[in-house]
């Protein structure tokens, strides 16, 4: 059955002024700015100007963000920490691990630097970090995890969608492998949330991280950490802050009394301006519906991949919709020159490794796909 798509494509495009002059295909780096998000920042500034400190309202805004993140993950608000970044969330997770008993942390080659660097930082605490490397076709099948996850493993890290190649991973099976060995599983989902339909409890994963700068259509400085509710009694982070306390207004410096729910993974004063923008960006995604967004993107990606095949380009991203998300990556002989050449024609993409990254979202339309394909045909010598 087709899902409702009335708030995607041409129907939503007018909210984003960049499309008046630019073909924007870079949501994997930064979502396009909407009038709604701009107004949200102005609302924050107007309130600050009019009333000074609006702490009661600002705390309420933070709780609204927690609830919005929960809805996007089909989780409970008590399973969500509001963070400033994935770095904060992952640092909180590893601070709660008993690395003396289980010293191994497993990461994939497709982790964003945040996850890999934080994992390797734990070597200072005695951790052993093991990398899972992709197959020749770029995929990382779950059995590669099974080969290195053992009873000494504390944490298994994977990405829902690779920021380098666009591969979508079997998070549920990776989580099962981790749990069979008594380990926990983290799925960094920054490249997916807002562009794919996501159900954290159904996947069985223990932690999910992400934020608002990409497909949630807001700015940097606001993120989330999902913590599976049943884990919370076992996990005491040593990285903390006053907003993680059981009673933030008790202002007690004499002990450590973390909140009973996932708020124990919050930290200091929340990023209030970014919360205003984040709520506005997430409202656009929620109005469209993630199932409708995912279906819309899949159709655009099919059109793009078919056109790339006609050009004889090498597509690094899987063709099957269930094995990809919003990101289509194309091999280039000189990717930096290709990105700059497209930018000169007001086509905004990005690059990682030797791949041109074309990121599709709810506001893109067939014409965007056709424009980038026409430009790539003119510069075929820059495609591998």
What is the maximum alpha-carbon separation in the chain? 67
Q: In this predicted structure, what is the pLDDT of residue 4?
A: 47
Angle of helix 366-378 relative to helix 290-311, nearest 10 degrees? 20
Angle at 79 between CA 286 and CA 250, to 5 degrees: 115
Residue 251: predicted pLDDT: 87
Residue 58 has pLDDT above 80, yes or no: yes
Map out the domains of the chain with their CATH numbers: 10-33+289-382 (3.90.1150.10), 39-285 (3.40.640.10)
Band of pLDDT at residue 80, cut at 50, 70 and 90: very high
Q: Over 60: is that where the pLDDT of 252 sits?
A: yes
pLDDT confidence of 3, banded at 50, 70, 90? very low
Taking a C-beta distance cutoff of 8 angstroms, is the pair 272, 62 a contact? yes
**Tens digits of residue pLDDT in 212-237:** 999 999 999 999 999 999 999 989 99
pLDDT digits (tens, 9 = 90+) for 336-379: 999 999 999 999 999 999 999 999 999 999 999 999 999 999 99
DSSP for 330-354, please give it.
EEBSSHHHHHHHHHHTTEE-EEETT
Give residue-wise pLDDT tens across range 128-159: 999 999 999 999 999 999 999 999 999 999 99
Strand partners, 24: 348
Write the DSSP string, 174-216: HHHHHHHTT-EEEEE-TTTBTTB---HHHHT-SEEEEESSSTT
Which pLDDT score is estimated for 6? Answer: 73
Q: Comparing C-alpha atoms, which of 17, 2, 88, 64 is closest to residue 286?
A: 64
Cα–Cα distance for residue pair 329/204, rounded to 1 Å:
29
In this structure, the dihedral spanned by the alpha carbons of residues 20, 25, 31 and 36, taken in order and rounded to 10 degrees, is 20
DSSP code string of 233-263: GG---SS--GGGBSSTTT---S---B-SSGG
Segment 323-337, tens digit of pLDDT: 999 999 999 999 999
Whether residue 1 has pLDDT greater than 60: no
Contact 155, 128 (CB under 8 A): no
Q: What is the pLDDT of residue 286?
A: 97
Task: Provide mean pLDDT across the span 9-37.
Answer: 98
Name the token pair of 229: 């509710």
Q: Which of 223, 253, 282, 271 lies closest to 93 in space, CA to CA?
A: 223
Burial class (CB in 10 A: 0-12, 13-18, 19+), 222: buried
Phi and psi at 81, nearest 5°, equal -100, 140
43-57, 81-95, 298-312: segment of lowest average pLDDT: 43-57
Q: Which residue has the higher pLDDT, 6 or 107?
A: 107
Q: What are phi and psi of 123, to 5 degrees?
A: -60, -25
Phi, psi angle pair for 28, to nearest 5°: -70, -20
How far is it, in rounded angstroms, from Cα 188 to Cα 295? Answer: 22
pLDDT tens-digit series, residues 159-194: 999 999 999 999 999 999 999 999 999 999 999 999
In percent, the amount of the chain with pLDDT more than 70 equals 99
pLDDT attached to residue 110: 94
Of the given ranges (19-33, 54-68, 354-368), which has the lowest mean pLDDT? 54-68
Q: What is the pLDDT of residue 249?
A: 84
Does position 56 have pLDDT exceeding 90, yes or no?
Answer: no
Angle between helices 290-311 and 272-288 (to 10 degrees): 80
Contact between residue 223 and residue 198 where contact means Cβ atoms under 8 Å apart: no
Q: What's the CA gap between 322 and 66, in Å, rounded?
A: 28
Phi, psi values for residue 350, rounded to 5°? -150, 180
Residue 5 has pLDDT above 70, yes or no: no
User: C-alpha angle with apex 138: 310 to 145, nearest 5 degrees?
Assistant: 155
Q: Assign 245 a pLDDT band (cuts: 50, 70, 90).
A: very high
- Where residue 2 falls among pLDDT bands split at 50, 70, 90? very low
Closest by CA position to 82, among listed 68, 94, 65: 65
């Amino acid at each position: 059955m087709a899902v409702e798509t009335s708030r995607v494509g041409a129907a939503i495009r007018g909210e984003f002024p960049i499309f008046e002059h630019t073909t924007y295909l870079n949501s994997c780096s930064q979502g396009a700015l909407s009038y709604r998000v701009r107004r949200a920042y102005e609302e924050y500034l107007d309130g600050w100007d009019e009333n000074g400190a609006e702490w009661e309202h600002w705390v309420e805004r933070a709780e609204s963000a927690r609830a919005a993140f929960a809805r996007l993950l089909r989780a409970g608000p008590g399973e969500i920490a509001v963070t400033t970044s994935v770095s904060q969330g992952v640092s909180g997770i590893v601070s709660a691990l008993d690395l003396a008993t289980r010293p191994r942390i497993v990461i994939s080659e497709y982790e964003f630097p945040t996850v890999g660097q934080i994992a390797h930082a734990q070597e200072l605490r005695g951790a052993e970090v093991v990398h899972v490397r992709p197959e020749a076709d770029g995929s990382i099948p779950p059995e590669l995890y099974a080969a290195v996850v053992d009873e000494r493993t504390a944490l298994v890290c994977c990405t829902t969608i690779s920021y380098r190649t666009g591969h979508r991973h079997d998070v549920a099976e990776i989580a099962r492998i981790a749990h069979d060995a008594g380990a926990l599983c983290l799925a960094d989902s920054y490249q997916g949330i807002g562009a794919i339909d996501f159900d954290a409890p159904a996947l069985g994963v223990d932690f999910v991280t992400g934020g608002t700068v990409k497909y949630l259509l807001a700015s940097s400085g606001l993120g989330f950490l999902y913590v599976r509710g049943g884990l919370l009694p076992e996990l005491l982070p040593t990285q903390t802050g006053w907003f993680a306390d059981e009673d933030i207004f008790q202002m007690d410096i004499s002990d450590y009394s973390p909140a009973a729910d996932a708020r124990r993974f919050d930290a200091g004063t929340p990023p209030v301006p970014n919360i205003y923008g984040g709520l506005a960006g997430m409202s656009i995604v929620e109005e469209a519906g993630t199932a409708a967004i995912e279906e819309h993107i899949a159709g655009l990606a099919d059109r793009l991949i078919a056109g790339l095949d006609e050009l004889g380009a090498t597509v690094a991203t899987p063709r099957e919709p269930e094995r990809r998300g919003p990101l289509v990556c194309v091999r280039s002989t000189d990717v930096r020159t290709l990105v700059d050449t497209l930018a000169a024609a007001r086509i905004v993409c990005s690059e990682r490794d030797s791949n041109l990254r074309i990121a599709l979202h709810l506001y893109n339309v067939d014409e965007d796909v056709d424009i980038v394909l026409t430009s790539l045909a003119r510069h075929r010598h820059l495609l591998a």
